[in-house]
Every structure is written in structure tokens, then in C-alpha cells.
């Protein structure tokens, strides 16, 4: 049956045939806001890369809109997903401007030798404006701050009009004020454009009020579902391998590991 959304079926993720996690089955519907959390090394980034086909699964299947895209690098349905990897994945030395970087998000949809049009440029500038970055369109990407670079890369991902936006640690290394503005912008896109979001983060407290679904990975285990269903100290402590304390507050739950937030 043709079904919108992304289905993971008995998925095992890892590298060189060695699984970090086995038996992951879930459905990400279009328009949902998912967050993936867990300790370092749990496989959060690997999961995103596996869904996208960058890393092959150890076993299991990935279906996009009901189409098996597990081992098909050229699976046409992948055009509906845009991906923003961790900032470290991008070179700091290439001479492209902010505008050039945003426009590069169209290359996968352009035919060979097809040129960038004035309409494409105007659209790229519109996305830079959305992130208050249009005044920096001619600035070399390498000269932008970390927060500005992330906004440019998200604009690059959005120019292709994706149904889903996958983000790997988009607020890491960004000051709290800039990170909050970035999350607000992502949430606006989710609410107003109905873009499905799947975001890896290290801080569930920071994004709790925005997300709808949560996937927690760690120690070869996982729990997934509506965010309120994962509020269980015993389950989270088992997955994280450390004692998790949950404090209920008027603003929502606060998750603590020892005396630190995570």
C-alpha cells in the first residue's frame, strides 16, 4: 500500500556489519516533529545517514512513501528529504558565498548543464531573508559565524522544497539566544509549511516544547513514541546508562543526569 511517511522496519544500524542498534521499527508521518536523543556513540547520526542511504543498514528496511529505498542510492523518493549534517562536515576553506551555498541545494534537481536562473537566485535570497541573512549573501561562507553558517545550510536544504528536513545537531556551538531563534524558525516551518522534522540533539530540555515525537537511543536499546510516553526515569536511566531524574515544572519536564541537564 502506498503510504506517505517514512517507515523503518526491523532496522539495525552500524558500520562494517557491526550493529549499534537492532530491531528498530517505527513510522515517521509527514508533518511530524521528531527529535532523536541519546548519549554519544549511540548511533543518532548513523540513523539519519542510514535513512538517507549514506550508510547501509546492517539489516532491515527503509521505506519512503511506501517505496523500498533501503539499498537504492538513486531511489526517487529521496528527493523529498533534505539533510543538514553537522557543521564539521563542511569545508571552511572553499570560496563560495552564502548565496552560492544556498543555490547549491538545487543542483540535485537540475538536469546536467542546466543553468541557475534569476528565479532561482530570487528564491535563494528569499530563504536567506527568512533567516535574516540576505544582507550577507555575498559574504564568503568561511567568514560567517557558526550560527550564520547553520542558517545558510538550512536555507540550502529548504530551497529544494522538501517534505522532510533532517538536521544533525543544528544548535551545537551556537549561543543560547541564536539557538533559540534557530529552533523557533524550524518550528515555524514545521507549523506553517507542514515540513516533517527529524532532528538529532543532545538537549531534550531545549526542544521539549516544540517536538511531538521522541526517539531515545543508547546502549543498544531504544524507546520511541509521543513525547509524553517517554517520561519514565527507569527506562531513560537504562538507555543512558546513568541515573536520569525528571522534575515536573509548569513549563514542562526537566531531565537531569546527576546534577546536570542533558
Q: What percent of the chain has pLDDT over 70?
A: 93
Domain that includes residue 47, residue range: 6-91+161-261
Instruction: Give me 251's grid cell.
Output: 513549563
pLDDT at res. 93? 66
Mean of the per-residue pLDDT values for the chain? 89
pLDDT at res. 260? 45
Residue 112 domain-assigned (yes or no): no
pLDDT at res. 203? 85
Based on C-alpha coordinates, what's the Rg of the chain?
Answer: 19
Whether residue 49 has pLDDT greater than 70: yes
Residue 109 domain-assigned (yes or no): no
| Total count of domains within the chain | 1
Residue 98 domain-assigned (yes or no): no
pLDDT at res. 258? 61
Whether residue 262 has pLDDT greater than 50: no
Residue 123 domain-assigned (yes or no): no
- What is the 3-class SS of the chain, one letter each residue? CCCCCEEEEEEEEEECCEEEEEEEEEEECCCCEEEEECCCCCCHHHHHHHHHCCCCCCEEEEEECCEECCCCCCCHHHHHEEEECCHHHCCCCCCCEHHHHHHHHHHHHCCCCCCCCHHHHHHHHHHHHHCCCHHHCCCEHHHCCHHHHHHHHHHHHHCCCCCEEEEECCCCCCCHHHHHHHHHHHHHHHHHHCCEEEEECCCHHHHCCCCCEEEEEECCEEEEEEHHHHCCHHHHHHHHCCCEEEEEECCEEEEEECCEEC
pLDDT at res. 92? 67
- Kindly indicate the confidence band of residue 112, based on its pLDDT and cuts at 50, 70 and 90: confident
Residue 135 domain-assigned (yes or no): no
Q: What is the pLDDT of residues 133-185, one digit of tens each?
A: 999 999 999 999 888 999 999 999 999 999 999 999 998 878 888 889 899 99
Whether residue 2 has pLDDT greater than 70: no
Residue 132 domain-assigned (yes or no): no
Residue 210 domain-assigned (yes or no): yes
* CATH number, domain containing residue 222: 3.40.50.300
Residue 131 domain-assigned (yes or no): no
Amino acid at each position: 500500500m502506498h503510504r506517505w511517511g517514512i517507515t523503518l522496519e526491523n532496522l539495525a544500524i552500524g558500520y562494517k556489519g557491526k550493529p549499534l542498534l537492532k530491531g528498530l521499527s517505527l513510522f515517521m508521518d509527514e508533518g511530524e516533529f521528531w527529535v532523536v536523543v541519546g548519549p554519544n556513540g549511540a548511533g543518532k547520526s548513523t540513523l539519519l545517514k542510514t535513512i538517507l542511504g549514506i550508510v547501509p543498514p546492517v539489516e532491515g528496511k527503509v521505506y519512503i512513501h511506501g517505496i523500498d529505498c533501503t539499498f537504492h542510492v538513486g531511489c526517487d523518493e529521496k528527493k523529498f528529504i533534505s539533510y543538514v549534517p553537522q557543521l564539521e562536515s563542511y569545508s571552511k576553506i572553499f570560496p563560495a558565498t552564502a548565496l552560492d551555498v544556498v543555490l547549491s541545494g538545487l543542483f540535485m534537481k537540475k538536469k546536467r548543464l542546466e543553468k541557475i536562473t534569476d528565479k532561482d537566485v530570487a528564491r535563494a535570497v528569499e530563504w536567506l531573508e527568512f533567516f535574516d541573512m540576505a544582507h550577507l549573501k555575498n559574504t564568503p561562507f568561511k567568514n560567517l559565524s557558526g550560527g550564520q553558517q547553520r542558517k545558510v545550510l538550512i536555507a540550502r536544504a529548504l530551497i529544494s522544497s522538501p517534505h522532510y528536513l533532517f538536521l544533525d545537531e543544528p544548535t551545537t556551538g551556537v549561543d543560547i539566544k541564536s539557538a533559540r531563534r534557530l529552533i523557533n524558525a524550524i518550528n515555524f516551518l514545521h507549523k506553517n509549511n507542514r515540513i516533517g522534522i527529524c532532528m538529532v540533539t543532545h538537549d531534550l530540555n531545549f526542544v521539549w516544547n516544540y517536538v511531538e515525537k521522541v526517539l531515545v537511543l543508547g546502549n543498544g536499546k531504544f524507546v520511541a513514541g509521543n513525547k509524553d510516553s517517554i517520561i519514565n526515569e527507569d527506562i531513560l536511566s537504562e538507555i543512558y546508562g546513568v541515573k536520569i531524574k525528571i522534575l515536573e515544572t509548569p513549563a514542562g519536564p526537566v531531565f537531569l543526569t546527576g546534577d546536570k541537564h542533558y
